[in-house]
Chains A and B, each alone.
Chain A
Amino acid sequence: MTTRSSLPPAPARLADANAIGSGGGGNGAGGGPTVPGERHLLAALERVARAPQGWSVVALHLSRLLPPAPRPHHRRIARAVMQDAAQRGDGQVFALRNGDVLLLTRNVAQPVSVVSDRLRRLFGREANDAGGIVSEWQLPAGSPELLAYTADRLREPEAAANKEAAPPPAEVVDAVAIAIAGARAQDIIQRQVAVQLDPHGGGPGAAMHVSYRELTFSLDVLETRLPESMRPGQDPVLLMHLSRYLDQRMLQILQLERGSSAPLDIGVNTNFALHLNLSLPGVMSDAFAILAGQFRAIGRPLGIEISMLEAVADPPGFAHARARLREFGARLVLDGVSHQALLMSRPALLRTDVMKLVWSPRIADAPAEEKAALATAVLEADPARIILHRAETEAAVRWGIANRIRLFQGRYIDQMLGVQRMVSCLGAPACTLQQCAERARATGGAGRASCTNFPLLDAALPGAPAGGSGP
């Protein structure tokens, strides 16, 4: 029912009140003047009020799903499932302005609880409380509560339009490639330090060693330079393809910066490893062979991060890349392992040196059963070979430590390192912690210009000799 033509129309006597009819997941905004779904619902309730026996209403509270849900496909499927039930039960579906979808039905073929259960099963995974995403009202007894709920919705401001963005056109690849080629290296490349927490330490704030520093392209910065319709972030497939261009540019920049003593000079801070993200063709390129040889020559450990997507999409290509990295003595990192991926697959069997498990606040909020399964999966994968990535909060680091993970990368670590720098920096009174952390991430230009203590900013960890857990 994403369009009127896709499914048979609602029963004729109710069709005029059908709030559903927009394409692509809009909220009743089919092109003409929009009448809120709440009004249609009230009108329909008024009509059935003459003989309310047997009627009931099921509400699917999409608004209660955890972000980034509800996504356009949630709305689309919700309407399809409910429209399906509507057709069996002389019913009608309403999309409210906050995203909730309601079914008014007089279902003789199946009790509405069947519909409710189906919805809970399908959508419950996206909510903290699967039970709370569906409400049921039997008429006429439930009418007062239903009317109160509907009135509340009408009083609320309309939820921000969450329209389905069309995927970026394929030309975006060329646009980004041109933007990358034209941008100054220090404007588009960021760096971040990962640390190893001392295994004998007790928690956050325990002794830290620098493990490596990673260089990444900042797509956010790139995207601000492109028109909105030309931003690749919406299409993971285009992003994977783009990584080939990013590889070439990164390898080129590192050659250009050699000997500059600037942050992107691989010969600076050689006491800890440098990590780069490469695609499979990037690893197999001549430019990479040259760079890997240079790392060897200066005795600096090199880590190469390859996305798990690439590893499973092209297993033979991944095996070749792995063999080549071993040959060059580089550490292979499996990048982008989500906690769901760790639960549903065995990434450790891809035989990389370490893997980057991406922290998500959903881990902290997960049901006990899922938490236990995740703990088991971490143990099976070997916590010593896991880097907890995007560790943005103390909760992330605490969870990691509790699960015997010792390697961390993320903004919370940036802050911890910033605190340590500021404690020993004479210029610290002029800066905030936020500024210090941001300048440490920058690789040059305005991003770090205001810092008066570059040696401390670049050393990654003040005072302590770098631990370096190279290959």
Chain B
Amino acid sequence: MSGMRSRPPRRIEPDSASGQDAHRLAALASDCEATGIARRCLVLRLSLLPNDLRKPQHLRLARDALDPLLSADRAQRFILPNDDIVMVWRGNADGPLAASRNAVTQMFADTDAEMAEVLGLWLMLDLPADIAALRDVIATSLDENSVPPTEKPRAAPLDAAALAVLEATLAQADVARFARRRVVCIAGTDSKFRPAWEVRYLAADELCAELAGGRAARAEPWLYRRLARTLDRRLLALLAANQELKDARPFGLDLDVASILGPDFLRFDTALPQLLRGRVTLGLQPADILADLAAFLFARDFARARGYRLMLCLPDSDMLPVLPMAKLGLDLVEITWSPAALMVPAELIEREAGHMVLAKADTAEAIAWGQSHGIALFEGRAALPGMPTFAPPPVPAR
């Protein structure tokens, strides 16, 4: 590996634990989005590696492996809190890129890591087009690892009094800076993921951290649902604002039933460009549906008449038989990956797989499980645009 270096490595001592690099990268992403200046971006997703391949020496080797890219025009390196390394540069750097890729491959040559896994670590993005994927990488790194879990102080819950104050604050606050996107990808025929739509949302946790004195947004689940409804209104207002959706790609929103029937949704619906009609997916929570079924049925029929696709977001795959998508008259169902999904009878998944999104698909295992059950839509760290899919294993004999 050392023979490939074109010059002595420039040591960078990043302050990754505090997330400074992540915030610098987020600023660069925003700048890139605002100016439209094209940049290339490589994410080396070391966070996907098993622990025995994530020891300090591995991380050091991986950083060294990307050194060739520092020779590219205006190259910058960012070490994220979860050990992912991001390189950003301008213009063509095919030579250094090939050298880096070769070095990374060699790095794992003596390990048990499968080639597919190694390739899965390597994520190429073109900015600003893939900005949502980059933001997802940043958000994930901050979510999971900014503070080691053992040291995380237990935040006070967002109680009713704090929620009341927060709701009053939100009526005035500019929430645009909390707007986030995560990408739902579809497994392409070229064995790579490509974006299907991006989910737009307001980052409730960050918002509470900043506007509600660091309170834990989700500690009280029903108060969180109430907060979510307030955030729905703000998000809809944000999207309905002038020009916000002018060049938008297909997207999704998780909304409360009451939000779909509210005045903000009507304003948003009016602002929705004709090109996007039929390409917006609304995600609904089962508790919201059951809380007022008459309102749900009305909202469902209204939204469908206006060309929205409706998705049931199940918190647990156990709920698939309890809340069948077809009985509820919805178009899609999202289940969240967890090892418990392995216990769900295959036929339950396969029956709806053609209309199913597998969320939190953060590992190769999740992708392999989903694809082997016929799922094509994924959302998670292991399913970002450009990442390789996993060929389904042979169908087991029944």
Closest-CB distance, B290 to chain A (whole angstroms)? 6
Kindly state the separation between the CA atoms of A312 and B270 in the bound complex, as whole angstroms.
Answer: 33
Q: List chain A residues, Cβ under 8 A from B327.
A: 343-346
Known: A236-B292, A237-B229, A308-B290. A347 touches B322 (CB 8 A): yes
Are B294 and A340 neighbours in the complex by a CB distance under 8 Å? Answer: yes
Q: List chain B residues, Cβ under 8 A from A310.
A: 287
Q: List chain B residues, Cβ under 8 A from A153.
A: none
In the complex, B188 has a CB within 8 A of chain A:
no
Chain B residues 86 to 109 lying within 8 A of chain A, measured CB to CB, are none
Are A237 and B261 neighbours in the complex by a CB distance under 8 Å? Answer: no
Nearest-CB residue, chain A, relative to B327: A344
Q: List chain A residues, Cβ under 8 A from B328.
A: 344-345
Q: List chain A residues, Cβ under 8 A from B286.
A: 312-313
Band of interface residues on A: 35 or more
Closest-CB distance, B121 to chain A (whole angstroms)? 31
Are B226 and A235 neighbours in the complex by a CB distance under 8 Å? Answer: yes
Within the complex, which residue of A2, A69, A241, A313 is in contact with B315, where a contact is CB–CB below 8 Å?
A313
Known: A235-B226, A241-B223, A345-B327. A171 touches B160 (CB 8 A): yes
Nearest-CB residue, chain B, relative to A171: B164
Kindly state the separation between the CA atoms of A7 and B85 in the bound complex, as whole angstroms.
Answer: 47
Are A6 and B263 neighbours in the complex by a CB distance under 8 Å? Answer: yes
Nearest-CB residue, chain B, relative to A243: B222
Are B161 and A341 neighbours in the complex by a CB distance under 8 Å? Answer: no
Are A236 and B291 neighbours in the complex by a CB distance under 8 Å? Answer: yes
Q: List chain A residues, Cβ under 8 A from B321.
A: 346, 349
Chain A residues 334 to 352 lying within 8 A of chain B, measured CB to CB, are 338, 340-341, 343-347, 349-350
Are B295 and A73 neighbours in the complex by a CB distance under 8 Å? Answer: yes
Nearest-CB residue, chain A, relative to B267: A6
Nearest-CB residue, chain B, relative to A8: B270
Number of A-B contacts (CB under 8 A): 132
Kindly state the separation between the CA atoms of A118 and B316 in the bound complex, as whole angstroms.
Answer: 36
Nearest-CB residue, chain A, relative to B270: A7
Chain B residues 37 to 67 lying within 8 A of chain A, measured CB to CB, are none
In the complex, A404 has a CB within 8 A of chain B:
no
Are A313 and B287 neighbours in the complex by a CB distance under 8 Å? Answer: yes
Q: List chain A residues, Cβ under 8 A from B239.
A: none
In the complex, A465 has a CB within 8 A of chain B:
no
Are A315 and B160 neighbours in the complex by a CB distance under 8 Å? Answer: no
B172-214 vs A, CB cutoff 8 Å, 1 = contact: the mask equals: 0000000000000000000000000000000000000000000
Nearest-CB residue, chain B, relative to A235: B226
Kindly state the separation between the CA atoms of A73 and B291 in the bound complex, as whole angstroms.
Answer: 16
In the complex, B293 has a CB within 8 A of chain A:
yes
Within the complex, which residue of B159, B222, B262, B322 is in contact with A349, where a contact is CB–CB below 8 Å?
B322
Interface pick from B25-33, B297-305, B389-397: B297-305
Nearest-CB residue, chain A, relative to B225: A237
A253-290 vs B, CB cutoff 8 Å, 1 = contact: the mask equals: 00000000000000000000000000000000000000
Are A309 and B287 neighbours in the complex by a CB distance under 8 Å? Answer: yes
In the complex, B16 has a CB within 8 A of chain A:
no
Kindly state the separation between the CA atoms of A434 and B182 in the bound complex, as whole angstroms.
Answer: 59
Closest-CB distance, B66 to chain A (whole angstroms)? 40
Q: List chain A residues, Cβ under 8 A from B324.
A: 345-346
Kindly state the separation between the CA atoms of A329 and B201 in the bound complex, as whole angstroms.
Answer: 44
In the complex, A100 has a CB within 8 A of chain B:
no
Interface pick from A120-128, A207-215, A421-429: A120-128
Chain A residues 122 to 138 lying within 8 A of chain B, measured CB to CB, are 122, 125-126
Chain A residues 28 to 83 lying within 8 A of chain B, measured CB to CB, are 69, 71, 73-74, 76-77, 80-81
Within the complex, which residue of B163, B266, B305, B319 is in contact with A122, where a contact is CB–CB below 8 Å?
B305
Are A77 and B302 neighbours in the complex by a CB distance under 8 Å? Answer: yes
Band of interface residues on B: 35 or more
Are A170 and B290 neighbours in the complex by a CB distance under 8 Å? Answer: no
Are A344 and B293 neighbours in the complex by a CB distance under 8 Å? Answer: yes
Known: A237-B226, A315-B318. A174 touches B290 (CB 8 A): no
Kindly state the separation between the CA atoms of A344 and B289 in the bound complex, as whole angstroms.
Answer: 11
In the complex, B136 has a CB within 8 A of chain A:
no
Within the complex, which residue of B229, B293, B319 is in contact with A341, where a contact is CB–CB below 8 Å?
B293
Q: List chain B residues, Cβ under 8 A from A204.
A: none
Kindly state the separation between the CA atoms of A341 and B291 in the bound complex, as whole angstroms.
Answer: 10
Are A6 and B223 neighbours in the complex by a CB distance under 8 Å? Answer: no
B5-27 vs A, CB cutoff 8 Å, 1 = contact: the mask equals: 00000000000000000000000
Kindly state the separation between the CA atoms of A312 and B328 in the bound complex, as whole angstroms.
Answer: 14
Closest-CB distance, B48 to chain A (whole angstroms)? 25
In the complex, A316 has a CB within 8 A of chain B:
yes
Within the complex, which residue of B226, B266, B318 is in contact with A76, where a contact is CB–CB below 8 Å?
B266
Closest-CB distance, B283 to chain A (whole angstroms)? 15
Closest-CB distance, B57 to chain A (whole angstroms)? 38
For B159, B262, B266, the residue with the greatest tally of chain A CB atoms inside 10 Å of its CB is B266
In the complex, B323 has a CB within 8 A of chain A:
yes
Q: List chain A residues, Cβ under 8 A from B159.
A: 173
Are B222 and A240 neighbours in the complex by a CB distance under 8 Å? Answer: yes
In the complex, B220 has a CB within 8 A of chain A:
yes
Q: List chain A residues, Cβ under 8 A from B262.
A: 73, 76
For A121, A235, A315, the residue with the greatest tally of chain B CB atoms inside 10 Å of its CB is A315
Q: List chain A residues, Cβ under 8 A from B352.
A: none
In the complex, B285 has a CB within 8 A of chain A:
yes
Kindly state the separation between the CA atoms of A238 and B226 in the bound complex, as whole angstroms.
Answer: 7
Kindly state the separation between the CA atoms of A173 and B291 in the bound complex, as whole angstroms.
Answer: 19
Chain A residues 214 to 259 lying within 8 A of chain B, measured CB to CB, are 235-238, 240-241
In the complex, A467 has a CB within 8 A of chain B:
no
Chain A residues 74 to 107 lying within 8 A of chain B, measured CB to CB, are 74, 76-77, 80-81
Nearest-CB residue, chain B, relative to A348: B322
Are A170 and B226 neighbours in the complex by a CB distance under 8 Å? Answer: yes
In the complex, A169 has a CB within 8 A of chain B:
yes
Q: List chain A residues, Cβ under 8 A from B297.
A: 125, 340
Q: List chain B residues, Cβ under 8 A from A76.
A: 261-263, 266
Are A121 and B301 neighbours in the complex by a CB distance under 8 Å? Answer: yes
Q: List chain B residues, Cβ under 8 A from A238.
A: 222, 226
A135-177 vs B, CB cutoff 8 Å, 1 = contact: the mask equals: 0000000000000000000000000000000000111111000
In the complex, B331 has a CB within 8 A of chain A:
no
Nearest-CB residue, chain B, relative to A340: B293
Q: List chain B residues, Cβ under 8 A from A312.
A: 286-287, 290, 315, 319, 322-323
Within the complex, which residue of B290, B299, B315 is in contact with A314, where a contact is CB–CB below 8 Å?
B315
Q: List chain B residues, Cβ under 8 A from A376.
A: none
In the complex, B221 has a CB within 8 A of chain A:
yes
Kindly state the separation between the CA atoms of A313 and B318 in the bound complex, as whole angstroms.
Answer: 12
Are B315 and A315 neighbours in the complex by a CB distance under 8 Å? Answer: yes
Q: What 9 A-B pairs are tightest by C-beta distance, nearest first?
A: A173-B160, A73-B261, A313-B287, A241-B222, A315-B316, A170-B164, A340-B293, A170-B163, A240-B222
B residues adjacent to A (C-beta < 8 A): 159-161, 163-164, 167, 220-223, 225-226, 229, 258, 261-263, 266-267, 269-270, 285-287, 290-295, 297-299, 301-302, 305, 315-316, 318-319, 321-324, 327-329
- A sample of 25 inter-chain contacts (CB < 8 A) reads A6-B267, A73-B258, A76-B262, A77-B261, A77-B266, A121-B301, A122-B301, A126-B298, A170-B160, A170-B161, A173-B159, A173-B160, A173-B223, A237-B223, A237-B225, A238-B222, A241-B220, A241-B226, A312-B322, A313-B221, A316-B316, A319-B318, A344-B327, A344-B328, A347-B322
Task: List 8 extra interface pairs beyond A73-B258, A241-B220, CB under 8 A.
Answer: A6-B263, A73-B261, A121-B301, A170-B163, A236-B292, A309-B291, A312-B315, A345-B327
